[in-house]
A and B are shown apart, each in its own frame.
Chain A
Amino acid sequence: MPSTESDSLDRLPPGVTAVIAALDFEEADRVRLMELGFIPGSSVSCQRVVPLGDLAIFQVEGTQVALRKDTAARITLQPSSAARNPDADSG
């Protein structure tokens, strides 16, 4: 399964849920991302990758948030926390 190998959020495939481990940003940016739901310990799933762009839409703490891939790359996931989410949209 490719999902278990992903250790940063940008590599989380659509339809897979994982748990956030850490955020690698300067303090102000880190606080902002946590306020928007990217909190260590929270479950996050990738809903879809936006066409023609490097944005992806994530479901976290009950809200949908769009992130650029380079931002998502700096959010690490707990190893082996990834699991397929039957609810999520795989397309």
Chain B
Amino acid sequence: MPTAVEPRTETQHSLPAKNRAVAICGPPNVGKSSFFNRLTGLRQKVANYPGITVEKRIGSLRLEDGGQVDLIDLPGIVGMHPRSEDERICVEILRGRSATLPRPAAAILLLDSTNLQAHLRMVPGILGLGLPTLVVLNMADELEARGGSVDTEAVSAQIGVPVVLASAVTGTGMREVVRFLQGSLAPAHKVELPVINNIPGERKWAHSVAAQSSYHAPEPSLWGRRLDRIFLHPVGGPMIFLAVVIAVFQSIFTLAVPIMDAVESAIGVSAGWIGALLPDSMLKGLLLDGVWGGVGSVLVFLPQILILFLFIGVLEDSGYLARAAVIADRSMRAIGLEGRSFIPLLSSYACAIPAVMAARTIENQRDRLATLLVAPLTTCSARLPVYALLIAAFIPERPLLGPFLGTRAAVLLALYAAGFIAACGTAWLLKSMVLRSKPAPFVLQLPAYRWPTIRSLAFRLIDRSKIFLRRAGTVILVTTIVLWFLASVPYQDGEPPPIGESLAGSIGRTIEPLVEPLGLNWKIGIGLITSLAAREVIVGTLGTIYGMEADEGSPALQQALQAELSFGGAIALLMYFAFAMQCMSTVAIVRRETGGWKWPAIQFGYMLALAYSTGFAAYRVFG
């Protein structure tokens, strides 16, 4: 039976009718995700540093014969000896040992045609799995642009499976890929591959295959080195990083404001229409105050979140992020982690959930645990609506560094810094006490610099909008409706009660003693409870509560907050949101990733303690 590769007797293979799953595998940074996007058009995260594709992504492709193929985009692997969690997942799926996915019917091995000699080393391991395989030499456009070339038929003749030169960016060669998926692309020759089980042997074999395929390696790209000289410069490198971060935060406020104003007035106008259409009833109250007031007040923040993700996307896709990890290695080591932990920590600025999963790329299990325990302390995008609301209400805008940095952006920056410092401090405590471990060798592959493509950035933003809108449409919608009911009962003389006498009001008053030391009143207290589901829910909750309280029309939420909250209370609330684990989805994912309730419970507890104590201190200082 199959040793290295099983010679197939028929000239065609066909995928079984029931299982048409095809795995896309290959080393990191060969453009697997772009390739997957090109084929399926489905949302998919593309990144440029090792191991971002930590979630299995499945997309489907309709074939001309009416059939359908399910493509699985697997995390990058550098060989068949997995060390990190995501590599283990990939190899398990390929070997058919995954509990969640059946063994794929075929595989596409994606290699970088600009680095063929090194990448062909992957071939014997993958073909040894015995699956019908297509080898795609990606980045044909780059190979050609830099003066390289390869004879794909010669490669195919030597390895015994079809080989296609393709470019996921330009679309070259994708027709052949589809032909393979239809089962009509087969190798011209049958070949026995030598059985090699050592890496130096594989390397020799790969070099000889490349040599006999008249492979001309492309000219090395010089601008990559020039960029490294700038981005890894002793002084310039860290300064550039800082400048980039400041630019991101400033644009979150300046660039997004006009768009947000437009969204806000659109919601206001549409609320007016609905109000005019509907007769006065309880349903009208639910729709206007509950749904429109609650969900609408969260929707306003979509532009800011998309701007943040656009910047993160550019940093990741360009390859800059891996350089930042190199710069960060020393500081990461000071807190007991390694440069690699920096990447999940950075992506947790977008959302803690992918960050917790991205921690799978960390080989040392104790480092991985420490990383995922502290990741939710860094400022995720769900905090942004809360921060933006409170900052706009309580911090007057004044220029600090001319037009470059205003007070509001500076406070936002400080909140981000607070989250980062808390994450580092906690990691250090964990690593120097409960999770102490021997340092493993630190190795990090640096991807080549690439221009982020509009296509890939668009995929990210669409992806992000969908997730955000789904949350707004489910978690936030449900909590605002439930809250609206709690705030509308018991009816008094056929009228909804004043908010203070409603059921929500009495719940709020019950917990008021708990939040009072932070300078918060019972209305905010209700918000703290509802936002346990997701942080941004508090904005909708306050929108609902204040909307219902208002006598004529709902006042701007900011003004309502200014009247209710002292400056110290606002700072305390910011601190609470900076540190508390107000996100059930993160609790769930940490439970799944650590295999039990112990670590999520510890995480929830320490974060709550940190949030409460800093909130208390802030109220004392600023109150």
Contact = CB atoms under 8 A, between A and B. Distances in A.
Contacts of A66: 326, 329, 339, 442-446
Contacts of A25: 441
A89 B225 contact: yes
Contacts of A40: 200
Interface in B413-457: 440-446, 448
A55 B342 CA distance: 15
B83 A32 contact: yes
Contacts of B582: none
Contact of B232 (A29, A41, A50): A50
B228 A47 contact: yes
Interface in B228-242: 228-229, 232-235, 237-238
A31 B199 contact: yes
Nearest to A61: B118
Contacts of A29: 440-441
Interface string B546-585: 0000000000000000000000000000000000000000
A80 interface: no
A41 B203 contact: yes
A34 B448 CA distance: 20
A2 interface: no
Contacts, number: 112
A68 B199 contact: no
B326 A34 contact: no
Contacts of A52: 234, 238, 327, 330
A39 B232 contact: no
Given A51-B232, A65-B444, A89-B228, A35 B199 contact: yes
Interface in A27-53: 28-29, 31-37, 39-42, 47-48, 50-53
A55 B330 CA distance: 8
Contacts of B326: 50, 53, 55, 57, 66
Nearest to A75: B441
Interface of A: 25, 28-29, 31-37, 39-42, 47-48, 50-55, 57, 61-68, 70-71, 74, 87, 89, 91
26 contacts: A25-B441, A29-B440, A29-B441, A32-B83, A32-B363, A33-B441, A33-B443, A34-B79, A36-B443, A41-B200, A41-B203, A41-B204, A48-B229, A50-B326, A50-B329, A51-B234, A53-B326, A53-B327, A55-B326, A57-B446, A61-B118, A62-B114, A62-B115, A63-B446, A68-B441, A89-B228
Given A37-B118, A52-B238, A71-B441, 14 more contacts: A32-B81, A33-B443, A35-B81, A35-B199, A41-B203, A48-B229, A51-B235, A51-B237, A52-B234, A55-B329, A57-B446, A62-B115, A67-B441, A71-B443
